[in-house]
Each structure stands twice: as C-alpha cells, then as structure tokens.
Amino acid sequence: MDWFTEKWTPNINFSVKIKEHIYSETTPFQQLEVYDSFDLGRFFTLDGIMMANEKDEFIYHEMIIHTPMSVNPNIKNVLVIGGGDGGSVRELTRYPSIIKIDMVEIDESVVRACQKYFQVTTTGLTDPRVTMKFEDGLAFVKNTKNVYDLIIVDSTDPIGPGEGLFSMEFYQNCHRILSDDGILINQHESPYFDKESQEMKRAHQKIKVLFPVAKVYQAFIPTYPSGHWLFGFASKKYDPVVDFKEAFIETLGYKTKYYNKNIHTGSFALPNYVIEKLKKI
C-alpha cells in the first residue's frame, strides 16, 4: 500500500496512506497530483505539498472568506489571486451582495484537474459572477485598472510561481487597486517551523508598512505544517474585531462548519510567542 509523504522540515515527515493515485500532471508551472486516501478522502498536491483535502478544506476556505465578509458586509467586487481549487470562490458565491468575482489563477491545469477530480471545492466556479483569468497574479495587479473591495491571496507558498505574491511590489499594487475601505486577506503561513515562520515575518513586515490595519489571525488546519496556520488581515479602514458585524453571517442562512462569531474574534487572539515573532519585525 502506498503512502504520500510531505517533508514538513528536513527532520519531520507528514504521511498519508493512499487508496489510489488518481491523476498526475506536469503543468507548465508545477507538479500536480490527485490522490484518494483512507482518512482524508481525496486530496491534491502541488510540487509535493498538500493543497486541499476533502476532510478539512472547509476550515481554510471558511476562515479566509467569512472573516473579511463579516467585517464589511458591503463588499461587492472581489479579486481572488490563486485559489485554483475554487474553494475561496465557493465561499464567496454564498453572498448575494457580491456582484463580481475575478479569480486570477496562473495555472489553468489546477482548475481543470479540480473540476474533474476534486469537485468538493469547484461548485462556485460556474456562478455567473465569476470570471476566471489564467495569468500571473503579480502582473495582473500591476496592470489592472479595476478597483476591488476585497482581495484574497489564496496562494501557494512563496516558492516557484507563488514567490512573487509575497513581494513588496505585489502588496503595493494590491493597496493601489483596493477601494478606500478595501481589505486584503492573505495566506500567511505559520509561526511554528522556521521556514514558514520566516515567510510569515517577511510578509507581515511588508504589509504593515502599507496598511494602517495589519492584523494576523489563526486557524487549526491539521494537514498543513504543524497544524497552526495563519492568515493576514490588512485594511485601509476596518479593524477586524472592533468593526465585526457578528449578525451578518446569520443573514446568509448558511451553516458554516468551522467559522462562527466566537471563532472570528478568538482567532485574532494570538499566543505570546507569535506576538513576539510579529513584534520582532
């Protein structure tokens, strides 16, 4: 019986027992694999790194979307950078108040493979409000004349195609194309292991220079390195806890599986060692 193994550090492996290796593709940007497993259901990886699995993808996708949407219920135009599995878009399409969702994903192969083999996250991609653009997010934010109320950076780690999505140039352009009360949410790595912790600090250092509000919030994602995962909440105007509209999500008539009003505020309460790391920047 096969195992999928991801190196969390040079000395720690994360392994998942596989039922079936469903699909494999060397795309122009990365190595894409889809597996079926005993304990996580189906999952897909990019360059050997766990991206999303049927068992816990809802945690990441609820936290990256419902947190900003509950701070500014007037969000109308949204940009998703990356997010090729469609999970972020799926959560966004639950909001009738949103009128337009642009998803800029560099690798069309990821979208097509998920539409065929990992459909749990792709249900929102056919929503008429969604426009998919298969190009580099770094170039898109540099050249677009559009204005967005919310930008979601649902990227891979800052290696390979994802590297530019952690650069000062990228964040400056995100700031430029955000409305006056715009919010930027980014996948913010993790405080636990050195590699992700360095990336967390690098990203936070740049974002806090550009945005008056630059907070970090956390979620427990068992299948990401250490399970302690962070998101960045940057805004030109709103504080994610002070301006939290706790009743808004209730108006959706949709029962989330992870996110709730106590999780919203609680996720911004960080452990001291994380606060220290963010302060040291």
Contact with ligand SAM (CB under 6 A): which of 68, 137, 191, 232?
A: 137
String of contacts with ligand SAM for each residue 163-192, x by CB under 6 A: -xx---------------------------
Q: Binding of ligand SAM at residue 124 (CB under 6 A)?
A: no
Main-chain phi, psi angles of 130, to 5 degrees: -95, 130
CB 103 within 8 A of CB 130: yes
CB 224 within 8 A of CB 197: no
Helix, strand, coil shares of the chain, percent, nearest 5, are 35, 30, 35
Q: Binding of ligand SAM at residue 98 (CB under 6 A)?
A: no
Contact with ligand SAM (CB under 6 A): which of 62, 85, 91, 157?
A: 85
By C-alpha distance, which of 84, 76, 93, 74 is closest to 30? 84
Residue 77 beta carbon to ligand SAM: minimum distance, rounded to whole angstroms: 18
Q: Binding of ligand SAM at residue 154 (CB under 6 A)?
A: yes
Note if 136 is an active site residue.
no
By C-alpha distance, which of 179, 86, 89, 131 is closest to 140? 131
Three-class DSSP category at 144: coil
Q: Binding of ligand SAM at residue 138 (CB under 6 A)?
A: yes
DSSP per-residue string spanning 217-271: EEEE-TTSTTSEEEEEEEESS--TTTT--TTGGGGGT---SS--HHHHHHTT---
Q: Binding of ligand SAM at residue 156 (CB under 6 A)?
A: yes
Residue 10 beta carbon to ligand SAM: minimum distance, rounded to whole angstroms: 23
Q: Binding of ligand SAM at residue 83 (CB under 6 A)?
A: yes
Closer CB to ligand SAM, 149 or 157, in the complex: 157
Among 47, 154, 180, 239, the active-site one is 154
Q: Binding of ligand SAM at residue 151 (CB under 6 A)?
A: no
Nearest-angstrom CA–CA distance, 68 and 75? 9
String of contacts with ligand SAM for each residue 7-46, x by CB under 6 A: ---------------------------------------x
Q: Binding of ligand SAM at residue 229 (CB under 6 A)?
A: no
Q: Binding of ligand SAM at residue 103 (CB under 6 A)?
A: no
Contact with ligand SAM (CB under 6 A): which of 68, 87, 182, 191?
A: 87
By C-alpha distance, which of 6, 42, 49 is closest to 23? 42
Closer CB to ligand SAM, 57 or 149, in the complex: 57
Contact residues toward ligand SAM (CB under 6 A) are 46, 51-52, 57, 60, 81-85, 87, 104-107, 110, 136-138, 154-156, 161-162, 164-165
Catalytic center residues: 154
